[in-house]
Chains A and B, each alone.
Chain A
Amino acid sequence: MPALELTNPAAMPADWRDLLALTKPRVMSLVVFSGLCGLLVAPVMPPLVLGFTAILCIALGAGACGALNQWYEADIDARMRRTANRPLPAGRMDPQSALHFGVGLGFFSVLLMGLATNWLAAALLAVSILFYVLVYTVWLKPRTAQNIVIGGAAGAFPPLIGWVAATGHMAALPLILFAIIFLWTPPHFWALSLFVRSDYAAAGIPMLPVVAGVPNTRRHIFLYSLPMAVAAVTPWPLGLAGSIYGACAAVLSFVFVVLAARVLANRAAEPAQMAPEKKLFAYSVFYLFALFAVLVADRWLAA
């Protein structure tokens, strides 16, 4: 009987830990959180089990996106240090299993969403999955430096889906939440892509720092942070959120813009000297969590 290390691990049944890794659980946490916030700020509260199912479906849909993204980009992931140890590039899983897992998870999440909540929420979930996989992963990402600008829309769907799952219709507030995430995504990803740009260059992905250079990317980060800050504060003057949210959104966004200005002022070209970029990337994650949490707290306090 041959020893395990002498065999091809991809030919064996996939380990459940690798199936879990395919769903990108860390990315999923932000998606689930924003979807939950969309649901919690809705004026109608669905029965607990239906709300839970809606969030579960958003999580499963995000997992499907992660799996299909990793299936399609296995060769690219193999060329980047950050992603080389994922199940497919590391050879721990058969690509066909990953494809079946991703497609199955996607179909299941949409069907369950439709049955448990409403078909508009299910349609939005289906559109977000298809947009992420077909428009972002397959079409935009390998072709244009603006990939993250348009592709960012896929990650902006969860609060909209959460709201629609609760109410059955769209409204101004979830559309503004969509706009906030849409405008937040480019500075968030470009900050990351600045200090891992050698990885993207090696993989042949035309991220902005690779194609347009580091100073140009820093300008883009700062410019995008301005409309993002405006969008973040907008629910307050429109009367869709209270003064607590307005004040917190203003402070959080001001800090974001200050950190983006520091990125703009940085002249370093080496990742080791990109402390402002790393700080902005870390803060951008905190920013979105804090902004949405404050919005939920504000709406609940007002109620």
Chain B
Amino acid sequence: MKLEEEVIRRQRERSRIFGWLLGAFVVLLFFITIAKTGINW
């Protein structure tokens, strides 16, 4: 594998993972807010 391809592969892989983590964090923050404010569904 060439250097440029490897750099792009790593960047894409990291971007995908950090994207998922960010999404999970937003969902977590939403549920934390719900739990802290004591709202019952």
Contacts and interface: CB of A to CB of B under 8 A. Distances in A.
A16 B17 contact: yes
Interface string B1-36: 111101100110110010000000000100110111
B31 A1 contact: no
Contact of A4 (B6, B32, B36): B6
Q: Most chain-A Cβ atoms within 10 A of its Cβ — which of B3, B6, B7?
A: B3
B10 A47 contact: no
A12 B10 contact: yes
16 contacts: A3-B3, A7-B3, A12-B6, A13-B10, A13-B11, A14-B10, A14-B14, A15-B10, A16-B13, A16-B14, A49-B34, A49-B35, A50-B35, A50-B36, A53-B28, A115-B32
Nearest to A15: B10
A53 B25 CA distance: 10
Contacts of A13: 7, 10-11, 14
Given A14-B10, A14-B14, A47-B35, 17 more contacts: A1-B2, A1-B3, A3-B2, A3-B3, A4-B6, A12-B3, A12-B10, A13-B10, A13-B11, A15-B10, A49-B34, A50-B32, A50-B35, A53-B28, A53-B32, A56-B28, A116-B36
Contacts of B32: 49-50, 53, 115-116
Interface of B: 1-4, 6-7, 10-11, 13-14, 17, 28, 31-32, 34-36
Contacts of B35: 47, 49-50
A296 B17 CA distance: 34
A237 interface: no
A37 B30 CA distance: 26
Contacts of A56: 28
A115 B7 CA distance: 36
Interface in A1-27: 1-4, 7, 12-16
Contacts of B14: 13-14, 16
A49 B31 contact: yes
A295 B13 CA distance: 42
A15 B7 CA distance: 9
A47 B34 CA distance: 10
A51 to B, nearest CB: 10
- Per CB-CB distance, the 5 closest pairs between chain A and chain B, nearest first, are A47-B35, A49-B31, A13-B10, A1-B2, A116-B32
Q: Most chain-B Cβ atoms within 10 A of its Cβ — which of A16, A49, A56?
A: A49
Contacts of A53: 28, 32
Contacts of A115: 32
A15 B17 CA distance: 11
A224 to B, nearest CB: 40
Interface in A44-87: 47, 49-50, 53, 56
B39 to A, nearest CB: 11
